Amino acid sequence: MQTYIAAKALHPDQVRPLSELWPQCWRDELNERKARGWEIKWDRPFNYYDELGERMLSVPEIIQAVDDIEPLIVLEPEEHVVMERRVEFFVPGVPIPIVGYIDLIAADGVPVDFKTAGRAWSRGKEHTELQSDFYLTALMGDGLNPNRLFRYYVFTKTKSPKVQVLETSRTIRQLFFMTKVVQEVWRAIEAGAFPPNPTGWKCSEKYCEYYALCRGKAL
């Protein structure tokens, strides 16, 4: 999607359909992971994911939603769209920076994040996500987004793929709460306190390398 949006904004005469861009982007990603020695544990046959991506990016509703995205264009040092923007900030009492990469900054200054999901997000989920708090804190002071808005594009991997465009905002108090959470986590790290999280997706023999030393010992 980033490749498509950038081409559409800077080189409209060279734009290729999303479904045509997918196969090469997918294979480039797999080849990069292979080159780094990263093992991929497939839940389903390889062809399932290949076909799923092409099917999702052929849905008119999804194509239209992506077409409607206008990215922020910066002219220096050379003309480019603002994607994968690295941001960082410090939280008082925490000696290391909080670092993130924002998928895209829209022309109206609102940061954008692309998500895929097994089903549509429940009502109001976008208002409780902490990810937006981090990015909005990092971007404070740039003057592009005074209302502290954040925009999610959630693409569902369902039988009939759909897209949700969800917008949320944060108050200064909400951003302050996020920094308190970071401080509490850092204090726990310094104290060596790492409580298990048995409700997370990674808590399984298949995905967690420490499973046998943790929850697996009780089975």
DSSP string, 177-211: HHHHHHHHHHHHHHHT-----TTSTT-STTT-TTG
Q: Identify the residue with better confidence: 44 or 156.
A: 156
Is 115 a residue whose pLDDT tops 80?
A: yes
Q: What is the mean pLDDT of the chain?
A: 93
d(CA 196, CA 216): 12
Band (pLDDT 50/70/90 cuts) for residue 202 is confident
Residue 144, CA distances (Å) to 79, 106, 147, 205 in order: 18, 10, 9, 45
Whole-number pLDDT of residue 109: 96
Identify the helix (H) or strand (E) that includes residue 161: none
Q: Identify the residue with better confidence: 82 or 44.
A: 82
Whole-number pLDDT of residue 86: 96
Q: Where are the beta strands (DSSP E) in 52-110?
A: 73-74, 80-81, 83-89, 98-105
**pTM for the model:** 0.88
Nearest Cα neighbor of 130 from 144, 145, 150 is 150
CB atoms within 10 A of CB 10: 14
Band (pLDDT 50/70/90 cuts) for residue 44 is confident
CB 108 within 8 A of CB 148: no
Band (pLDDT 50/70/90 cuts) for residue 195 is confident
User: Taking each helix axis from N to C terminus, what angle separates 18-35 and 46-56, rounded to the nearest 10 degrees?
Assistant: 140
